[in-house]
């Protein structure tokens, strides 16, 4: 019998714990946060990937351009593939995506990052606030909050 390489073995090799990070908020802002966070992870030697809905719409979701819920569902399924590969997947969406998202997430592997205070009832939530901070400062603070849960 052929023995598959497990997610745990991949995480051990990569020295990281895989997660799906979903950033919820105003779409242009969360897209910027996603790519800045990926850059911050990369700088720290942490393997991550942004699941960009624009890229998804050019291929895997070309048949559902008018169905945001289906694009999100497929994005989460792609993120799960990264999760099983030991890689941190970064997804993002607008505030109205949270209901669809709740149907597809695994509590222990999923972290919601939100600027929406009404999502506090959901487990594994990191709330971010901009106050007088710049976007890079917000991402750096977010990275610090996430570092302990993804490092081995």
- Cα separation of 75 and 111, whole Å? 15
DSSP, collapsed to helix, strand or coil, labels residue 34 as helix
User: What is the full DSSP assignment across 116-145?
Assistant: -GGGTTSSSEEE---TT--HHHHHHHHHHH
Q: What does the pLDDT read at residue 98?
A: 63
Residue 141: what pLDDT? 92
Q: What is the pTM of this model?
A: 0.88
Query: What is the tens place of the pLDDT at every residue in 82-130?
Result: 999 999 999 988 766 666 666 656 567 888 888 766 555 556 778 888 7
Percent of the chain with pLDDT over 90: 47
Domains recognised in the chain with CATH numbers: 7-150 (3.40.50.300)
Q: What is the mean pLDDT of the chain?
A: 86
- Report the alpha-carbon distance of residue 17 to residue 32 in Å, rounded: 23
Instruction: Give the SS3 label for residue 1.
Output: coil
Cβ atoms of 91 and 75 closer than 8 Å: yes
DSSP 8-state secondary structure symbol assigned to residue 62: G
| Residue 21: closest CA among 130, 138, 150, 144 | 150
| Of 8-12, 40-44, 130-134, minimum mean pLDDT range | 130-134
Q: Is the pLDDT of residue 139 over 60?
A: yes
Q: Exposed/middle/buried for 91, CB within 10 Å: 0-12, 13-18, 19+? A: buried
Q: Which residues are 50's β-sheet partners?
A: 90
pLDDT at 46: 96
């Amino acid at each position: 019998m052929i023995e598959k390489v497990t997610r745990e073995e991949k995480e051990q090799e990569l020295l990281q714990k895989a997660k799906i990070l979903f950033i919820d908020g105003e779409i242009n802002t969360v897209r910027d946060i996603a790519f800045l966070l990926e850059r911050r992870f990369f700088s720290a030697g942490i393997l991550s990937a942004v699941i960009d809905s624009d890229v998804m719409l050019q291929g895997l979701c070309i048949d559902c351009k008018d169905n945001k819920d289906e694009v999100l569902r497929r994005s989460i399924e792609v993120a799960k593939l990264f999760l099983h590969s030991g890689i941190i997947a970064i997804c993002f969406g607008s505030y109205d995506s949270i209901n669809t998202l709740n149907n597809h997430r695994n509590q222990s592997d999923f972290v919601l990052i939100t600027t929406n205070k009404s999502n506090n009832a959901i487990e594994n939530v990191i709330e971010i606030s901009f106050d007088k901070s710049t976007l890079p400062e917000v991402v750096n603070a977010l990275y610090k909050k996430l570092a302990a849960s993804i490092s081995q």
